[in-house]
Amino acid sequence: MIEVTKGGVRLHLFIQPKSSKNEIVGSHNGLLKIKITAPPVDGKANEGLIAFLSDYFDLPKRDITIIRGDTGRQKTVELLGVSEQFVREKLKL
């Protein structure tokens, strides 16, 4: 679910687009499940995910990158400039 990298942390996610609200649900098959209101059309769910993570972790959008899974529900997202401890505290893990 959380992987430490040289510049920050990578999150392994399962995304549920077109939900009623943006929220972090919890663990799902070893991945962190996040619901996003944006539909999975023309990259809108990816944009919605980055915007949500930016607000949630109080990071600029430029510090959040989708590394893997652009078109799928399983994604790997890198957060630059944060520690594993910070992410675990924010996620209450």
State the CATH number of the domain containing residue 54: 3.30.1200.10
When divided into structural domains, the chain yields a total of: 1
Which pLDDT score, from 0 to 100, does residue 19 have? 96
- The angle at the Cα of 19, spanning 17 to 25, to the nearest 5 degrees, equals 90
Threshold 0.85, pTM exceeds: yes
DSSP state of 70: T
92: confidence class by pLDDT, cuts 50, 70, 90? confident
Residue 1 has pLDDT above 90, yes or no: no
Q: What is the pLDDT averaged over residues 48-67?
A: 97
21: confidence class by pLDDT, cuts 50, 70, 90? very high
Q: Which amino acid is at 38?
A: A
Q: For residue 92, give both structure tokens.
A: 């209450």
Which pLDDT score, from 0 to 100, does residue 84 have? 95
CA distance 67 to 11: 10
Q: What is the pLDDT averaged over residues 19-41?
A: 95
Domain that holds residue 19: 2-91
